[in-house]
Amino acid sequence: MTDQQRPHTRLWALGLLTTTLVLSACQPTDPEAGGESVTVESGGERVVVYTSRQPHLIEPLFERYTNETGVSVEFTSANEAALIERMAAEGEQTPADVFITVDAGNLWFASERGLLQPLDSEILEAAVPDSLQDTDNEWFGLSVRARTLMYHPDRVDPSELSTYEDLADPKWAGRLCLRTSKKVYNQSLVAMLIEHHGEEKAQEIVEGWVANLATDPFSSDTLLIEAVAAGQCDVAIANTYYLGRLLADDPDYPVALFWANQDTTGVHVNISGAGVTRHAPRPEQGQRLIEWLASENAQAEFAGSNLEFPVNPNVPIDGIVAEWGEFEADDVPLVVAGERQAQAVRLMDRAGYR
């Protein structure tokens, strides 16, 4: 399952006895996005969010925000590409104040399209490490996801594992599974390989991965991990929260994770994050919502609901995520994942990674 879902709109209005809600059906929100929209009007302040994060992950937080602040949150959930195109088409007429999505590459692209605005926020600067925010302050991370090595403990001794680069070694021939190169998560990982090694060496690594594949790339991380569990391959690269979901259902699930590159560049991490839209009708409300989501008050739920890591270093980690232990993360600014994304896509194509 990805962090995308068919579009729909909700609004959490302040539950006051004096508030009157008027609902009216509208035309579909966007022909590319599909689905229908519902407009909810209330007497209080509001903020409008476009998000590619799954509704069940974000909706409870918006409800909390409304209960704590009295500000209604109206949100539309859709594929990030559709939302970016929608904001571009709406221009100055957009109703959206905030854009929330997954992967720094998507946030960078929205920024490059001129769809976000810089924020001057001491709160966000204190809560979000520099490497997890835009250099021009147009977007900030809200949760961290690590993309690392997964393996079957009955077929792989963890002493065999070390780095992403090592998976190109012939010893892994016929033992490696990957998700499709079309997924932005892998594009960002390869972008970081280019940053660390240069394009020529990065292509050699990716070509080695392709040579070692046990099967064609998978459409999702869940299918990828299930292939490891079933013995279709021995090792894979996936986001940790996908394994976390499987472990939540079955604590004895036969796949373990290994923190990659601990003696070199560190584990590749990415984010879900947010920015205030360029033409936000209510930019102050938008900034306040993002600041609240980055606060200690909201971070445990924002990250924990998807078994991710809090972006705010002051927030403790618990549950399944804490059991994985500490790791050294790659500290290259994530803006690089966006800047090198097109280069990474071309490289993967040349390497035969589909």
pLDDT, one tens digit per residue, over 83-94 is: 999 999 999 999
Task: Judge whether 115 and 88 are in contact, CB under 8 Å.
Answer: yes
pLDDT one-digit tens code per residue, 232-267: 999 999 999 999 999 999 999 999 999 999 999 999
Longest CA span, the chain: 69
Instruction: Give residues with Cβ within 8 angstroms of 297, minimum separation 6.
Output: 68
pLDDT tier, 44 (very low <50, low <70, confident <90, very high otherwise): confident
Instruction: Give residues with Cβ within 8 angstroms of 67, minimum separation 6.
Output: 14, 15
Interval 120-139 mean pLDDT: 98
d(CA 351, CA 140): 32
CA distances from 190 to 109, 194, 219, 264, 282 (A): 17, 6, 17, 16, 37
Task: Judge whether 72 and 13 are in contact, CB under 8 Å.
Answer: yes
pLDDT tier, 7 (very low <50, low <70, confident <90, very high otherwise): very low
Q: Where in the chain is the domain with CATH 3.40.190.10?
A: 8-144+270-316, 145-268+327-350
Instruction: Give residues with Cβ within 8 angstroms of 120, minimum separation 6.
Output: 137
Q: Which CATH number fits domain 145-268+327-350: 3.30.70.2080, 3.40.190.10, 3.30.200.20, 3.50.50.60?
A: 3.40.190.10
Report the CATH number of the 8-144+270-316 domain.
3.40.190.10
Task: Judge whether 295 and 145 are in contact, CB under 8 Å.
Answer: no
Packing angle, helices 104-112 and 184-197, rounded to 10: 90
Is pLDDT larger for residue 175 or for residue 19? Answer: 175
| Residue 244 three-state SS | helix
Is residue 17 scored above 60 in pLDDT?
no
d(CA 279, CA 337): 25
- Which range among 12-21, 256-265, 315-324 shows the weakest confidence by mean pLDDT? 12-21
Is pLDDT larger for residue 230 or for residue 32? Answer: 230
